[in-house]
Structure 1
Amino acid sequence: LGLAAQKGQHEAQALLGQMLFNGDRLPRQAARGLMWLTLARDSAGTDETWIKENYNRAFAKASDDDRAMCLQMLEQWVQGRREQ
């Protein structure tokens, strides 16, 4: 799942993000989970409402610190993709 998410598969990003945000079968990492959910939301098609709904739920529950950390992680992700 992690490899598929790293390769940009938005369904995998959404599932991994949800698992990390909620601590489902993985240690809870809310900011990292929100990062994956954000990437998935940005790539999801209009018919993939489940991704947008999961993102919206996580964003609403996330603390300000989690949101700020998520932004930093997203910036690193984008920078890393540019360097490839």
Structure 2
Amino acid sequence: MLNDLSKDIFSNLKKFRDKQVTAENAIKTFIKPGDRIFIDSGCSEPLDLTKKLIELGQELPDVEILHFLSLSDLDYYETAGNIENLN
């Protein structure tokens, strides 16, 4: 029985790994011009994803990023070109 359980766990882990993508790949695949993105607030903010969004800001025309309480360093919003901080 434990052997079957182990097989199921490893099978599910493999399926999960097969679905993983980089933040950059996910952004370039799913975010389109004109999209509005809400970034969760406070400790729920995905910091790496937020930083990658800003880094790729020049490639995301007319994308609006909304947030209420960011734990990120907001200085990068000011230097990202097309990104405007509306706080």
- The alignment's TM-score, normalised by the length of structure 2, stands at 0.32
| Bigger-Rg structure (1/2) | 2
Q: Which has the higher helix share?
A: 1
Q: Which has the higher strand share?
A: 2
